[in-house]
Amino acid sequence: MERVPAIVLGGTGYVAGELLRLIAAHPRLRLAGVMSDGSPGAPIAQAFPHLAPVYANEVFQSQAQIEALLQRERAPAILSAAPHGVSAALIDALLGVAERAGHAPRVVDISADFRYATTAEYEAVYGHPHGAPARLAQFTCAVPEHLRELKTPHVAHPGCFATTILLATVPLLALDLIEPQLFVAAVTGSTGSGRKPVEGTHHPLRHGDLYAYNALTHRHTAEITACARAASGVAAHFAFVPHSGPYARGIHATVQAVLKRPLGSEALRARLADFYRHAPLVHVGDKPPRLKDIVASGYARLGAVSDGRTVAVMSVADNLNKGAAGGAMQWLNRLLGFDESLGLTAPAAGWT
């Protein structure tokens, strides 16, 4: 079968590296180009030595080279791992080139640039003008499991914290099980801070430590609130406290809320499992999930308990895979008419 050409933006970042890894193993995609304006001509294997066996000769390309590619390719897929504040304008420029050539790429953006429906919402969170306001209506933001019918040509994938938390909370709200006030504590690995070394990811400071940051003020709270409302129809309040964990990959989130009516643990898990009965990449188990169950995989796992009045739902997902590159690939599969789990069913490594 003919493979769909895939273009990756944001070339040397961790999420872009994960996209490249997933594309290499995908049976219906081929890497057409990967853009890094800061490293055009540099080997992919230089930035990502672990990908050398599959990208021994490929190099990063400039924006001009990607634009020339879009003029030639009729139906490419674009996966953007460019930074927020950069991705929107870049996508707008590339779509413009493709459209003038009579081509119609499908785009999945992993940055924050198309996660809000209006420029006002985006600018309130990020403090600068949106890079492509005319494109906002062409994007929908949702976790793949929470939107069965997509009405826009392009998708914005929620962030890794948002994905992990929304998988736990949307069923509770949509099924009217809880009062609409949720308390969330979530721990993320250091790769969530990106490739550029900063104090928060410096190994001597982070190793063997655990600490909260931006408690109740994290900028992704607005995104979580908006996505939860869109997916469940309920306007809920999220009290979110993120934590930095002493490991590289994965997010563990614990969500607590008050039940509207008594419900036992077994019945709660049954409701969650039924909610995700058509979601091949989300598993609900009888025991609390562990990061080693999902690290480097496209799966998410949920566990839940109830004391009859309060529920606690535990959710784990890999921040680079299910929470970013893998979730984007899941969306791209749907945009291209493939099974949504295609190329994403390899199990976690287990002993990372």
Which pLDDT score, from 0 to 100, does residue 159 have?
A: 97
CA 297/CA 319 separation, integer angstroms: 10
Q: Is 227 a catalytic residue?
A: no
Could you tell me if 116 and 345 are in contact, meaning their C-beta atoms sit under 8 angstroms apart? Answer: no
Domain residue ranges of the chain, discontinuous segments joined by +: 4-141, 160-318
CATH of 4-141, picked from 3.40.50.720, 2.40.160.10, 3.20.20.330, 3.60.10.10, is 3.40.50.720
Residue type, 124: A
Q: Annotated catalytic residue: which of 160, 162, 272, 296?
A: 160
Query: 328-349 b/e with 16+ CB inside 10 Å = b?
Result: bbbbbbbbeebebbbbbeeebe
Which pLDDT score, from 0 to 100, does residue 71 have?
A: 96
Which pLDDT score, from 0 to 100, does residue 201 have?
A: 76
| Predicted TM-score (pTM) above 0.95 | yes
Residue among 283, 325, 337, 246 nearest 79 (CA): 325
Does the domain spanning 160-318 belong to CATH 2.30.30.240? no
CA 195/CA 109 separation, integer angstroms: 18
> Helices marked H in the chain — which ranges?
14-25, 44-47, 63-72, 87-100, 119-126, 160-174, 203-206, 220-232, 265-275, 326-335
Which pLDDT score, from 0 to 100, does residue 205 have?
A: 84
pLDDT tens by residue, the chain, 352 residues: 799 999 999 989 999 999 999 999 999 999 999 999 889 999 999 999 999 999 999 999 999 999 999 999 988 999 999 999 999 999 999 999 999 999 999 999 999 999 999 999 999 999 999 999 999 999 999 999 999 999 999 999 999 999 999 999 999 999 999 999 999 999 999 998 888 878 777 788 888 999 999 999 999 999 999 999 999 999 999 999 999 999 999 999 999 999 999 999 999 999 999 999 999 999 999 999 999 999 999 999 999 999 999 999 999 999 999 999 999 999 999 999 999 999 999 999 998 8
Tokens 């039940």 -> residue: 259
Which pLDDT score, from 0 to 100, does residue 17 have?
A: 97
